[in-house]
Structure 1
Amino acid sequence: MVNSTQVSFFTLSAYFDTGLFKYLYFMIILSVYILIICSNLLLIVVICMNRSLHEPMYMFLCSLFVNELYGSSGLFPFLLTQILSDIHTVPASLCYLQIFCVYSYGGVELLNLAVMSYDRYLAICYPLQYNTFMTYNKIAMLIVLSWLLMFFVHTCTAYLIVPLQLCGNIIQKVYCDYHSIVKLACYDTTMNNVYGLIISAFFVFGPLIVIFYTYMRILKVCFSGSKQTRQKAVSTCTPHLASLLNFSFGACFEILQSRFNMNSVPNMLRIFLSLYFLTCPPLFNPVMYGLKLSKIFVICKSLITNVGC
């Protein structure tokens, strides 16, 4: 029997020998990481440096892009190191730190999307009172609360898994995962499972209910409103909905994979889908918002043109 005091490292068994192809995979993943950093940083700088973008929608977007840099940095350097390594082990302390980063990233992302849907709801359903409702103090409170809540919740998560007595140290993934470690526990994990259900109820279903409610109200206003109202809703809500669906797809697969046997899914596809919610939203969100929101697109275009000159 192996207990928590004896487990000094975990072995990630989802990696397999790719021979010389590992250098190709390394270059592909490094390119994706550089693209994520550059695109998200560009939009953060554009929003912060331009007073015309100091509006609620863009401030929430800035928080979203910062979170995507945070989540990517919790995964990609780790992946790059593991791809070049022949022994896929990770110290227990680093594994727990990665779990904290990955799960807090996912929580902040969902809360950010819920806050953004609430902002669009106020802008479209109550345009005359919008500036009264969405003050700078309220914007700051919503952003800070989203981050602090998730950091607190997943600090508690870490306190629950670190003392677990484990009967093994093999994780069947390419990165550290909370449920994979809970499955290794020698004894009853009822407290961990109950805690997981409570967190899911409040911080997964809660934001999804907010998003569903706000979009039902937005749709109601669009169907009964003018053509101009519908155009405004489509232009501002389309990238948000695309972002939500993109993140939800990856998160749902990850939840299913953590709780059910997915051995029937090909190994490469399973690895790709397990990484989806950590790679695709940070990669595609800056592109979607940069192209769909005219203010950001015009400023980015002029900035790139000036740099090129």
Structure 2
Amino acid sequence: MENNNSFPLYFNLTMFMNLGSYRYPTFALCLLLYAAMVSANLVIIFVIARQKNLHEPMYIFVMCLSINSIYGSAGFFIRFLRDLVFDTHLISRWACFTQIYVIYTYASYELTILGVMAYDRYVAVCQPLHYHNKMTLKMVSKLIALAWICPVLSVFACVYLASRLPLCGNEIPKVFCANWPVVKLSCVSTALNNLIGMLVSITTVFLPLAFVLYTYVRIFLVCRKRSSEFKSKVIQSCLPHIVTFVNYSITVFCDVALSRINVEELNPFLGVILSLEFVVIPPILNPLVYGLKLPEIRKQILRMLSCCCMFAHTVNIRNKRNTVSPS
């Protein structure tokens, strides 16, 4: 019969600091950040979905990034905001593994979508005459399905194996649930977990990273032989993707490095900042990068904001007229 102590009903997130009187201002600031994050990504989704001239592969992939950002930030912030205002940071076993699944699929989706976007840029630059034949709506649908299905299955395998481990403790040194800290609590051998984790890392992390690097090497070799005008267009098209890719690679590296060291030896504030990077920075940076750098999206956003301002101005004038009493 299984020992219930080996399968704790709750986990304790130990990296939360005692904020004292700063608790509620911190909560308000984080809530504002979350609202801005969701709003910015919703604007990108709305603009691309509404404008038919943006129904092209590159913009569809950008919309997928924004959908993923909303999904991942919800998996983190909803619980994090609750923990900021409570003294205890216990999370149920079921909720913990659900959060692990959501955050890890978010992280994997980000990389697989970036890999798909790199393929789109590679075909556009290196094989421009075949672009419309290769990047059809059917091909785009297949690429998106591949980018979403692979992480679903691979992350589920990791989370399921971790949930079956008998544990010798329930303390997780992070501000959110993560797979590796749970596995480190195991009372038995974790060789199978390590093997599956390595395979998942190769398929959802290292392969997309290697593929993105390969595509940009090919793009660089093509650009080297072309005119400065061609290079300028390529840079304008690829720069947002490069910025997103580099930013996300750095944040993932920080999180992986943090999970492999003794967090208690770090400065608590630095440990929290490093652990939050990959769930906070990409969702807020991606819509800014694509909204500002891609001319078509920027133009549509500015047009939408202009219409909103004109509508608000018109409503304000009407309200003032209605409140003025007749002489």
SS of 2:11's equivalent in the other structure is: strand
Residue deviations 1:78-122 (CA, integer Å, cap 9, x gap): 100000011110000000000000000000000011111110010
How far off its partner does 1:262 sit?
A: 4.1
Q: How does 1:127-142 map to 2 (within 5 A)?
A: 127-142=128-143
Structure 1 counterpart of 2:302, one-letter code:
K
- Residue 171 of structure 1 corresponds to 172
Q: CA contact under 8 A between 2:114 and 2:241: conserved in structure 1? A: yes
Structure 1 counterpart of 2:282, one-letter code:
P
Structure 2 CA distance for aligned equivalents of residues 266 and 200 of structure 1: 28
Structure 2 counterpart of 1:14, one-letter code:
M
Residue deviations 1:134-163 (CA, integer Å, cap 9, x gap): 110010111111111111111112210111
Q: How does 1:17-166 map to 2 (within 5 A)?
A: 17-166=18-167
Residue deviations 1:155-176 (CA, integer Å, cap 9, x gap): 1122101111001001111000
Relative to structure 1, is the Cα distance of residues 305 and 201 closer, same or farther in structure 2, using a 3 angstrom cutoff? Answer: same
Structure 2 CA distance for aligned equivalents of residues 4 and 61 of structure 1: 46
- Residue 308 of structure 1 corresponds to 309
Structure 1 counterpart of 2:106, one-letter code:
Y
Q: Which moved more, 1:231-240 or 1:260-269?
A: 260-269
Structure 1 counterpart of 2:76, one-letter code:
L
Structure 2 CA distance for aligned equivalents of residues 4 and 158 of structure 1: 20
- Residue 208 of structure 1 corresponds to 209
Structure 1 counterpart of 2:60, one-letter code:
M
How far off its partner does 1:24 sit?
A: 1.1
- Residue 316 of structure 2 corresponds to none
- Residue 222 of structure 1 corresponds to 223
Q: Which moved more, 1:18-27 or 1:257-266?
A: 257-266
Structure 2 CA distance for aligned equivalents of residues 183 and 218 of structure 1: 42
Q: CA contact under 8 A between 2:6 and 2:168: conserved in structure 1? A: no
SS of 2:88's equivalent in the other structure is: coil
How far off its partner does 1:264 sit?
A: 4.2
- Residue 250 of structure 1 corresponds to 251
The percent of aligned pairs where both chains have the same amino acid is: 36
Structure 2 CA distance for aligned equivalents of residues 260 and 288 of structure 1: 32
SS of 1:39's equivalent in the other structure is: helix
Structure 2 CA distance for aligned equivalents of residues 2 and 174 of structure 1: 27
Q: CA contact under 8 A between 1:2 and 1:168: conserved in structure 2? A: no
SS of 1:122's equivalent in the other structure is: helix
Q: CA contact under 8 A between 2:173 and 2:263: conserved in structure 1? A: no
- Residue 288 of structure 1 corresponds to 289
Structure 1 counterpart of 2:188, one-letter code:
Y
Structure 2 CA distance for aligned equivalents of residues 295 and 129 of structure 1: 23
- After TM superposition, the runs of 4+ consecutive aligned structure 1 residues lying more than 6 A away are none
- Residue 8 of structure 1 corresponds to 9
Structure 2 counterpart of 1:125, one-letter code:
C
Query: Which blocks of at least 5 consecutive residues in structure 1 are unaligned?
Result: none
Residue deviations 1:219-242 (CA, integer Å, cap 9, x gap): 011110122220111001111111
TM-score, normalised via structure 2 length: 0.92
What is the RMSD of the two structures over their aligned residues, measured on CA atoms?
1.3
Structure 1 counterpart of 2:285, one-letter code:
F
Relative to structure 1, is the Cα distance of residues 2 and 170 closer, same or farther in structure 2, using a 3 angstrom cutoff? Answer: farther
Larger of the two Rg values belongs to structure: 2
SS of 1:276's equivalent in the other structure is: helix
Structure 1 counterpart of 2:173, one-letter code:
Q
How far off its partner does 1:261 sit?
A: 2.2
SS of 2:167's equivalent in the other structure is: coil
Structure 1 CA distance for aligned equivalents of residues 14 and 201 of structure 2: 27
Structure 2 counterpart of 1:199, one-letter code:
V
Query: Which blocks of at least 5 consecutive residues in structure 2 are unaligned?
Result: 311-327
Q: Which moved more, 1:227-236 or 1:75-84?
A: 227-236
Structure 2 CA distance for aligned equivalents of residues 4 and 191 of structure 1: 22
